[in-house]
Amino acid sequence: MFWRFGFHTVSPVDTLLEKEDVTVEELMDQDDILQELRAANSKLIEFLCLPEVLGRLFGYLNFDTEEQQVDMKYPYLAGEILSCEEVWGLSKAILENKELLTSYWEILDKPAPLDSLQAAYFSKIIGTLLGKKSDEMIAFIKSQPGAVDKFLLHLETPAIMDIVLKLISLDELPSGAGVIEWLSSEGLMSRLIDQLNPTRDPETHSTVASIILDIITISKSNNRQESNAGPNALISELKSEKSITKLVDYMLDSSAPNAASVLVNGIGIFIELIRGNCGDDEPNDLFQYNRPFAPIDLSDMLRVLSGRLGDFQNILTNPRNLSEYIDTTVGKVKPLGFERLKVCELYAELLHCANVNMSDSESGDEAQEISQEDDAGTILKQKYINHKIVASCLDLFFAHPWNNFLHTIVYDILHQVLNLPYEVDVNKGLILSVFNDAGITSRITDAQKLCDSTPESPKTIRLGYMGHLTFIAEEVVRLIERCPEVAADVKDQVETEAWKEYVSKTLREIKERDQQPLGGQRPNLLNGFNDTDEDDYEEEEEDVDREQFSRYLTPSGELRSQFVSSFDDDDESDEEDPDWLSKLEQTGINSLASAEHAQEGDETKRFMTIADWSADFHDNFEPSHKDNVEEEEDEHFQTRQGTALVEEDTTDLIEVAPLPESK
């Protein structure tokens, strides 16, 4: 039976659209409305693009949850319909109806905080319009009075700030050119920094810092796609001396209640700026950068922070909001505090930035000469020497033996300092401060003695910084071996008996121990089973698998089928011969096993084995009937047996000659 119109079934949506007075609510009551929309149902799209229908859809999204309990079915469907990315006609119809879009934009006029669901629908629809009709939607947003003010009003609503980040990301597209300059002219960055005022709550600080970090990340991604592009207007404003000074003042305001929160979040912004500029370079290429994008000049930031290093040092010695002692698994410990940890991390990143700044100044193609005294990196390093930054960080290193985050940061600082070119005067002074001010060699030997004596005490464990301390000692030894001038300048520190004994004995034993495999040698080597034997064993397993598969395709499979067929035909004869099973075990099955285990390449032997098996099979299963029955069975078996030729090549492909047809 055939249907007149094939197998096509009419959708309920199409049926409703045939009605003249159909409403959008009737359509949204259908379960497959979204499916039909994404399938580009032309009738449905044409209906939804009508101005009055769009008005109804936007009306469901502009609800007031305080006045009434809203049924979220229609708002959900309205949001999904208006943000459908598969339908371009809807986006075009929305942008053509500017009055309707302007009315929907007034959601931002509501007091904060917005309803999370309403904000999510708003962000999704605006984001879809920005993705499909970027130039038209950007022009619409620019035409709205106080657009940036409205964005900042809902600063703590993540969905609204996603629109701002979406706008910034469009700067890399031709249709989005100039959007960052417009945001900068509206004072977006300066207003964000104002939100970091220490009188505001820590939640606001965290939110604003997260937004600024996202802006830095997006801007860095845009710059990488344009190798000759410098920082955009927002980043240029952020790294300016005015913005950095304001932010540092907020961070170091000792009288403000939430200055510690600003300090932690502000340092995160500085670190992201530095890492975005030089964070992808390898440590070995510290002075030979090959960046695929134009570096950002952070000299203003270095100068401002260099002038406030004394205040940062005061935080290390006199931390704010720090508890006395806390209980840990190793007993009562005086905490380091997140504030001091971030300051140490800032020191490490500033040193990275100073090295990059000096490298760019020395290897630049510009004709102007920059005096070493005026270079921002040189100024910073000189401040490090004056304030004994490295020594203070090393003091914290030994004072907090269980803070592995701190140990990693301090090791990073020392690794940078001990690998600086000794020929540069400021580098020489910084390296010598590690030996003279920090007393690195004596601190290492004293810590080793303390660690050796600690495990001897009851219920104690090895100190937590010993691994990083070994790395630091190796850096010191390599520096002395690489640069004899250093050894001569710090002769008093490196010629002591304690240091010599540590290098010649303790450090050597540690290195030898660390080079040994964890847990000793591999067990297979101890048992005389080497890697070659293991490879041979794997090859043998592969050969066995290949052979078994080959046997599966040989005529032995046919013989098994014949065995079963003959067994079914001769049930009565088998019952009359009680010894048939023993005969089969002695002859037939053994012959079959011999045929299956024949070696590859021995075709004659295999063929003869199959023939012998056939004869044995015929003898063992000879029926008890005489005369005609015997002759018929024999003729029947001979006809079915035939002759099988097996040919095997190196690729394990098998050809089986067809059996002759029975007459």
pLDDT greater than 90 at residue 396: yes
Per residue in 147-193, pLDDT (tens digit) is 999 999 999 999 999 999 999 999 888 888 889 999 999 999 999 99
Supply the pLDDT for residue 324: 77
More confident residue, 532 or 645: 532
**Which two tokens mark 585?**
């075990």
More confident residue, 587 or 449: 449
Supply the pLDDT for residue 173: 83
pLDDT greater than 60 at residue 652: no
> What SS3 state is found at 253?
coil
Task: Give the Cα separation of 621 and 567 in Å (integer).
Answer: 8
Region 198-224: mean pLDDT is 88
**Which two tokens mark 334?**
């005086």
Supply the pLDDT for residue 645: 38
Q: Which residue has the tokens 């490295």?
A: 390
Region 370-386: mean pLDDT is 79
pLDDT greater than 80 at residue 126: yes
631 CB-near residues (< 8 Å, 6+ apart): none
Per residue in 602-621, pLDDT (tens digit) is 444 444 444 554 555 455 54
Task: Give the Cα separation of 424 and 372 in Å (integer).
Answer: 10
More confident residue, 343 or 511: 343
**Which two tokens mark 641?**
């047996």
Amino acid at 127: G
DSSP for residue 210: H
- Work out the pLDDT band at 20, boundaries 50, 70, 90: confident
pLDDT greater than 70 at residue 237: yes
Supply the pLDDT for residue 604: 45
Region 292-296: mean pLDDT is 62
Chain center to CA of 10 = 46
Strands (E), 506-626: none
Region 86-97: mean pLDDT is 89
Region 241-253: mean pLDDT is 95
Supply the pLDDT for residue 624: 46
DSSP for residue 287: T
Region 103-124: mean pLDDT is 91
Cα dihedral 279, 283, 288, 291 in deg (nearest 10): -30
Task: Give the Cα separation of 14 and 176 in Å (integer).
Answer: 39
Region 392-403: mean pLDDT is 93
Give the up-direction half-sphere exposure of residue 169: CA atoms within 13 A in the CB hemisphere: 12
pLDDT greater than 50 at residue 404: yes
Residue 264 · residue 342 · CB < 8 Å: yes
**Which two tokens mark 422?**
């000794």
> What SS3 state is found at 599?
coil
Task: Give the Cα separation of 490 and 422 in Å (integer).
Answer: 13
Residue 33 · residue 27 · CB < 8 Å: yes
600 CB-near residues (< 8 Å, 6+ apart): 547, 550, 648
The full DSSP string for 99-143 is HHHHHHHGGGGSPSSPPHHHHHHHHHHHHHHHHHSHHHHHHHHHH
Residue 447 · residue 395 · CB < 8 Å: no
Pick from 68-72, 235-239, 296-300: least confident: 68-72
Pick from 162-166, 188-192, 455-459, 588-592: least confident: 588-592
> What SS3 state is found at 647?
strand
CA-closest candidate to residue 168, choices 196, 192, 202? 192
Supply the pLDDT for residue 600: 44
DSSP for residue 170: G
Per residue in 271-287, pLDDT (tens digit) is 999 987 765 444 444 44
CA triple 190-196-202, angle to 5 deg = 155
**Which two tokens mark 155?**
């600063």
Supply the pLDDT for residue 638: 46
For CA atoms 514, 515, 517, 519, the dihedral sign is negative
- What's the mean pLDDT when you consider all of the chain? 78
CA-closest candidate to residue 357, choices 274, 293, 423? 274
More confident residue, 267 or 455: 267
Pick from 42-46, 261-265, 491-495, 643-647: least confident: 643-647
Q: Which residues make beta-bridge pairs with 279?
A: none
Region 11-16: mean pLDDT is 84
CA triple 497-499-502, angle to 5 deg = 105
Per residue in 303-360, pLDDT (tens digit) is 999 999 999 999 998 888 777 777 777 778 888 889 999 999 999 999 999 987 655 5
Task: Give the Cα separation of 54 and 277 in Å (integer).
Answer: 47
Strands (E), 295-359: 326-328, 331-333
pLDDT greater than 90 at residue 592: no
Residue 371 · residue 359 · CB < 8 Å: no
Task: Give the Cα separation of 248 and 240 in Å (integer).
Answer: 12
Supply the pLDDT for residue 215: 94
pLDDT greater than 50 at residue 662: no
Supply the pLDDT for residue 284: 42
Amino acid at 381: K
DSSP for residue 324: S
Rg of the Cα trace of the chain? Answer: 41
More confident residue, 596 or 15: 15
Most confident of 168-177, 517-526, 560-569: 168-177
SS3 readout for 416-452: HHHCCCCCCHHHHHHHHHHHHCCCHHHHHHHHHHHHH
447 CB-near residues (< 8 Å, 6+ apart): 398, 463, 465, 466, 469
Supply the pLDDT for residue 524: 62
Residue 621 · residue 580 · CB < 8 Å: yes
Q: Residue 654: which H helix or E strand, with range?
A: strand 654-656
- Work out the pLDDT band at 62, boundaries 50, 70, 90: confident
